[in-house]
Amino acid sequence: MNDQTGSLKVSDKSVDLPLKKGTVGPDVLDIGKLYQDTGMFTYDPGFTSTASCESAITYIDGDKGVLLHRGYPIEQLAEHGDFLETCYVLLYGELPTAAQKADFDYRVTRHTMVHEQMARFFQGFRRDAHPMAVMVASVGALSAFYHDSTDITDPNQRMIASMRMIAKIPTLAAMAFKYNVGQPFVYPTNSLDYTSNFLKMCFAVPCDDYHVNPVLARALDRIFILHADHEQNASTSTVRLAGSSGANPFACIAAGIASLWGPAHGGANEAALKMLGEIGTVDRIPHFIARAKDKNDPFRLMGLGHRVYKNYDPRAKIMQKTSHEVLAELGINDDPLLDVAMELERIALHDDYFIEKKLYPNIDFYSGITLKAMGFPTNMFTVLFAVARTVGWIAQWREMIEDPHQKIGRPRQLYVGATKRDYVPISKRREG
Ligand code: SDX
């Protein structure tokens, strides 16, 4: 890190702020001592200009539409590797050798089952509970089952908890799906690869043989790669903040799932497909675009826009290609939702409003069409996002825990409430 110094003039005071440079991307001004030097806080509610940490895991250049995991471009990881290879890269920082990959796959595969009591834990939910609600609860409940890997000061326990989380999240996701549709849970099959195993746990039934479609398995594996990590997004920041207090990793991942559920974040894939369905046909698009532009209308075009990408989300391009592959494999040649999505994208890329505000399709724009074609109901879309993002949350959580300078996250505020005033007995308070 090459340090220089920035300076800030506040009324009659001038303070020096250490300037830190990363390996690539914007420099940062270290304001850690600003309050003690000036008695003032900085103010940035949406963290639009605030770096919360130092990280070596994922780099995004929003203007160029670049996404790197440990320096490897997302396009190359998605094209040449599988999801567990991306997991290895995120966790260990390097591409695995053949022996390292085989060992990693073996270790993950040996943690795919959940404690048998978990099955009874599900019985407490209504069948129509949203699968994301079930995921928040069941992942949090893992800390009630795996006490032997909750001591975050023990590197070995951190590693076991990491492997358990990555291995069990597909099993819990499939259980949430099966419970929702009223079918029996399907145990993991260790002879299958990670994503084929997940598809079988979701779609196999006791009364029929189930054969994984390799084209769909490859497509879903690639979709998992695209969703694996994304710098300090809302859910990752939630996991880091929860973990900064020393909370166990299962509880931290449950907090991340809760944050991901929001429609402005991971819930956008479910919302985007519902929006495409509401638009219904290409001729209704102008009406919805007018609504999106109307300041008095809270309607937003889900799957468009991004806090960081002010260019095309590189993941969306791969998602679009994957959606065509899946629809072709399934013989779906005339999906009206895809027609609406393609026309909406074409208009958005040429309309002044979207160009001025730099609103491009993001990863959630095409994912719903693909997942629906694969047979997943819309309420499972964000669950699939959580399955993939768990490795990113775990990698970021471990980086935070293993940072020697790490301390509990505790932001301050700009207070705009009442100043000090005395208590008034109820008998003396005026009505109305
Ligand atoms: C994900 O952070 C990540 O990395 C997230 C993610 C990941 O992998 O973890 O990439 C995954 O969450 C992708 C984003 C999914 N969300 C959506 O698709 C929901 C629709 N998009 C938006 O709500 C919005 O674009 C956000 C939330 C994604 C980003 O919001 P920002 O950065 O806070 O931007 P903003 O809301 O201030 O919008 C800037 C302007 C506004 O207009 P003005 O007030 O300046 O006049 O653009 C407009 C907004 O009204 N705008 C939109 C719009 N998104 C922004 N107008 C119409 N439709 C939209 N979708």
- 153-191: per-residue pLDDT in tens? 999 999 999 999 999 999 999 999 999 999 999 999 999
- Is 405 among the catalytic positions? no
User: Per-residue pLDDT for 17 more than 80?
Assistant: yes
Helix, strand counts (H, E) of the chain = 18, 6
**pLDDT value at position 311?**
86
Protein residue closest via CA to atom 26 of ligand 1: 306
Alpha-carbon torsion, ordered 131, 387, 60, 369, to 10 deg:
-60
Protein residue closest via CA to atom 41 of ligand 1: 357
Quote the ligand 1 centre to 266 CA distance (angstroms).
Answer: 12
Alpha carbon distance 29, 6 (integer Å): 7
Q: Could you report the per-residue pLDDT of 242-289, keeping only the tens digit for each?
A: 999 999 999 999 999 999 999 999 999 999 999 999 999 999 999 999
The alpha carbons of the chain give a radius of gyration, in whole angstroms, of 24
* Residue from 82, 105, 313, 364 carrying the catalytic annotation: 364
Mean pLDDT of 416-423: 97
370 vs 11 pLDDT, higher one: 370
**pLDDT value at position 3?**
53
**pLDDT value at position 326?**
95
Nearest to 235 by CA among 88, 363, 403, 382: 382
Quote the ligand 1 centre to 313 CA distance (angstroms).
Answer: 12
- Is 69 among the catalytic positions? no
Closest ligand 1 atom, CA of 292? 57
b/e string for 113-145 if b means 16 or more Cβ within 10 A? ebeeebeebbeebeeebbbbbbbbbbbbbbbeb
Q: What is the mean pLDDT of the chain?
A: 94
CA distances, 19 to each of 28, 48, 404 (Å): 6, 18, 20
Q: Pick from 67, 230, 239, 265 the residue to mutate for probing ligand 1's pocket: most ligand atoms within 8 Å of its CB.
A: 265
* Residue from 69, 130, 230, 306 carrying the catalytic annotation: 306
Alpha carbon distance 188, 112 (integer Å): 6
**pLDDT value at position 2?**
45
- pLDDT category, 25, cuts 50, 70, 90? very high
* 31 Cβ neighbours under 8 A, 6+ residues apart: 17, 42
CB 171 within 8 A of CB 113: yes
User: Per-residue pLDDT for 142 more than 70?
Assistant: yes
Q: Could you report the per-residue pLDDT of 325-335, keeping only the tens digit for each?
A: 999 999 998 88
Residues paired with residue 15 on neighbouring β-strands, in sequence order? 8
